[in-house]
């Protein structure tokens, strides 16, 4: 596992590089630091691993190299961003998911193995040591990566045209699916078009499954009446799905995400029937069908957002689901963590009682928010990326704090007009906490809302924790 270092008073990039035995450039790249000379107290930094490098010899295959280092071909491909295992060539230098560690005074095989999340037996085996071997300060030993699970990773994107394509290309090696959001259903059974062709081409080039998203709501309309109009009319429902299938075939989509929100409780069974209609129509054509689910914590949870979302039915009918475990820190609400781990956990604890674990993608937001204080009801917070959050912390010399309950970082600052602000964002600690939740409940994978907000630490940690499935 990668090391996460929380900046303390007096820390500099040079000091950290020397302490951890890596280059300053490696730390800067792993964290996307724009001004490495200015570190704010409380900033969580990923410390990259000094991986081994292997020079490919004539006649070597990736499988042979992987077996030599006791790793796997998928791990080698992911670490080196390879799309074809047969494409390696003599002289090529490949990173190997094993790195060296310099023994410090007081270290023991047990303490080292615990630190890096591997067994003592594997540590000894990899280094030709026995249980009676003594370690000396300054000694170099190899640390193999712990075994990784293979997971599915989806990302929604709301940016279209060539800009949307660039977003997909930037993280293509870390995605199983990408879902342009979205095709809005119309009262006549048609679908409002979107400019998704460049995004779909980028997906195909990156071996990503394109997933079409259809929805009933917009930024200006909750969609409750539209949902009722469609779901209560089997003929209109079938027309929506027929038009959806036509677009999927025309544009090369291979999966569908259904996102009905703010559905009237009276339309619960109608919604379930629509899901079954979708599966009956799309499965014979070879397509996957999924849904986005309101973040329920119990079967009987009240509210327009929740009641029509029947977790057991979605889990029984569909190939997989995306509980939308984010947006507690709503842009029009009071300041708080956007994806607090304690509330995410409550949703997943209920979800796994109603839906098979291998059908659940954990929802994860990748943006930050800045609220002006004191909060006035209805006042909109500013939404931006994690890098901007760090820029603001640096600019105002803020101290970043960490809420242990929500497992989320935040800070406060005063602007040039004398107004106080509160910023909640994500960092390496909070991302790792979400990945740990995914592992704890053995879920299918993770789904990001939404591309377009740079968060380099997330993608580095994702690759460190998992192998991303490519279909």
Structure confidence by residue, pLDDT tens digits, 335-378: 999 999 999 999 999 999 999 999 999 999 999 999 999 999 98
Strands 177-180 and 209-215: parallel
**Under DSSP, is residue 37 helix (H, G, I), strand (E, B) or coil?**
coil
Q: Would you state the structure tokens that stand for residue 366, as one six-digit string? A: 């990748």
252 pLDDT above the threshold of 90: yes
334 pLDDT above the threshold of 80: yes
Nearest to 38, CA basis, from 449, 423, 390, 458:
390
Q: Would you state the structure tokens that stand for residue 137, as one six-digit string? A: 């300060």
In this prediction, residue 162 carries a pLDDT of 97
With cut-offs at 50, 70 and 90, classify the pLDDT of residue 243. Answer: very high
- Beta pairing partners, 467: 150
For the ranges 82-86, 251-255, 257-261, 443-447, the lowest mean pLDDT is seen at 82-86
Q: H-helix or E-strand containing 66?
A: helix 62-68
In this prediction, residue 174 carries a pLDDT of 97
CB of 228 closer than 8 Å to CB of 267: yes
269 pLDDT above the threshold of 90: yes
**Distance (Å, whole) CA 108 – CA 104:** 9
Q: Is 167 a catalytic residue?
A: no
In this prediction, residue 426 carries a pLDDT of 98
**Distance (Å, whole) CA 396 – CA 413:** 6
Q: Rounded mean pLDDT of 12-18?
A: 95
Ordered DSSP codes for 119-182: -HHHHHHHTT--TT----TT-EEEEEPPP-EEEEEEEEE---HHHHHHHHHHTGGG-SEEEE--
Tens of pLDDT, residue by residue over 271-293, are 999 999 999 999 999 999 999 99
317 pLDDT above the threshold of 80: yes
237 pLDDT above the threshold of 90: yes
Per CATH, which fold does 149-468 belong to?
Answer: TIM Barrel (3.20.20)
**Under DSSP, is residue 216 helix (H, G, I), strand (E, B) or coil?**
coil
Q: Rounded mean pLDDT of 22-41?
A: 94
In this prediction, residue 51 carries a pLDDT of 84
In this prediction, residue 321 carries a pLDDT of 99
With cut-offs at 50, 70 and 90, classify the pLDDT of residue 297. Answer: very high
With cut-offs at 50, 70 and 90, classify the pLDDT of residue 20. Answer: confident
**Distance (Å, whole) CA 426 – CA 339:** 9
CB proximity list for 376: less than 8 A, separation 6 or greater: none
Rounded to whole angstroms, the maximal C-alpha distance in the chain is 76
Tens of pLDDT, residue by residue over 96-151, are 988 888 899 999 999 999 888 789 998 999 899 998 889 999 999 998 888 899 99
CB of 271 closer than 8 Å to CB of 263: yes
**Distance (Å, whole) CA 290 – CA 154:** 11
1 pLDDT above the threshold of 80: no
Please state the domain extents for the chain.
3-144, 149-468
**Distance (Å, whole) CA 435 – CA 347:** 15
In this prediction, residue 415 carries a pLDDT of 97
With cut-offs at 50, 70 and 90, classify the pLDDT of residue 50. Answer: confident
Per CATH, which fold does 3-144 belong to?
Answer: Membrane-bound Lytic Murein Transglycosylase D; Chain A (3.10.350)
Angstrom CA distances, 226 to 218, 231, 239, 249, 293, stand at 11, 9, 14, 25, 18
Catalytic residue among 75, 167, 261, 307: 261
In this prediction, residue 260 carries a pLDDT of 98
**Distance (Å, whole) CA 341 – CA 105:** 36
CA neighbours closer than 13 Å in the CB half-sphere of residue 15: 9
Confidence (pTM): 0.92
Q: Would you state the structure tokens that stand for residue 438, as one six-digit string? A: 């995914």
With cut-offs at 50, 70 and 90, classify the pLDDT of residue 233. Answer: very high
460 pLDDT above the threshold of 80: yes
Please state, rounded to an integer, the average pLDDT across all residues of the chain. Answer: 96
Tens of pLDDT, residue by residue over 174-209, are 999 999 999 999 999 999 999 999 999 999 999 999
């Amino acid at each position: 596992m990668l090391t996460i270092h929380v900046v303390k008073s007096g820390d500099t990039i040079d000091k950290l590089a020397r302490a951890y035995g890596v280059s300053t450039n490696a730390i800067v790249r792993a964290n996307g630091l724009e001004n490495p000379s200015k570190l704010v107290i409380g900033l969580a930094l990923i410390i990259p691993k000094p991986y081994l490098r292997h020079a490919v010899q004539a006649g070597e295959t990736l499988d042979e190299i992987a077996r030599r280092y006791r790793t796997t071909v998928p791990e080698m491909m992911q670490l080196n961003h390879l799309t074809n295992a047969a494409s390696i060539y003599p002289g090529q230098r490949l990173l190997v998911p094993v790195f060296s560690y310099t023994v410090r005074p007081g270290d023991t095989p047990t303490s080292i193995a615990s630190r890096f999340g591997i067994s003592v037996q594997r540590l000894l085996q990899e280094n030709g040591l026995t249980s009676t071997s003594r370690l000396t300060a300054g000694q170099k030993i190899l640390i193999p990566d712990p075994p990784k699970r293979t997971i599915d990773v989806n990302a929604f994107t709301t940016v279209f045209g060539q800009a949307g394509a660039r977003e997909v290309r930037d993280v293509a090696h870390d995605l199983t699916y990408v879902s342009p959001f979205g095709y809005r259903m119309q009262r006549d059974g048609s679908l409002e078009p979107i400019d998704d062709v460049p995004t779909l081409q980028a997906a195909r080039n990156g071996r990503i499954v394109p997933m079409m998203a259809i929805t009933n709501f917009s930024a200006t309309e909750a969609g409750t009446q539209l949902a009722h109009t469609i779901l209560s009319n089997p003929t209109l429902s079938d027309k929506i799905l027929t038009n959806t299938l036509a677009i999927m075939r025309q544009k090369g989509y291979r999966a569908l995400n259904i996102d009905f929100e703010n559905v009237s409780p009276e339309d619960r069974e109608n919604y379930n029937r629509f899901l079954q209609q979708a599966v009956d129509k799309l499965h014979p054509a070879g397509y996957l069908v999924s849904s986005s689910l309101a973040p329920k914590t119990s079967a009987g949870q009240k509210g327009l957002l929740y009641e029509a979302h029947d977790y057991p039915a979605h889990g029984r009918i569909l190939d997989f689901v995306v509980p939308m475990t984010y947006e507690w820190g709503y842009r029009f609400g009071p300041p708080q963590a956007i994806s607090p781990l304690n509330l995410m956990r409550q949703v997943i604890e209920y979800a796994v009682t109603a839906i098979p674990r291998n059908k659940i993608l954990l929802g994860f937001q990748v943006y930050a928010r800045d609220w002006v204080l004191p909060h006035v009801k209805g006042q909109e917070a500013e939404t931006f990326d994690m890098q901007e959050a760090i820029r603001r912390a640096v600019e105002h010399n803020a101290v970043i704090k960490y809420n242990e309950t929500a497992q989320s970082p935040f800070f406060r600052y005063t602007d040039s007009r004398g107004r106080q602000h509160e910023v909640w964002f994500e960092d390496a600690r909070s991302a790792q906490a979400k990945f740990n939740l995914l592992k704890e409940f053995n879920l299918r994978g993770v789904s990001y809302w939404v591309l377009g907000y740079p968060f380099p630490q997330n993608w580095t940690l994702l690759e460190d924790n998992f192998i991303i499935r490519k279909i």
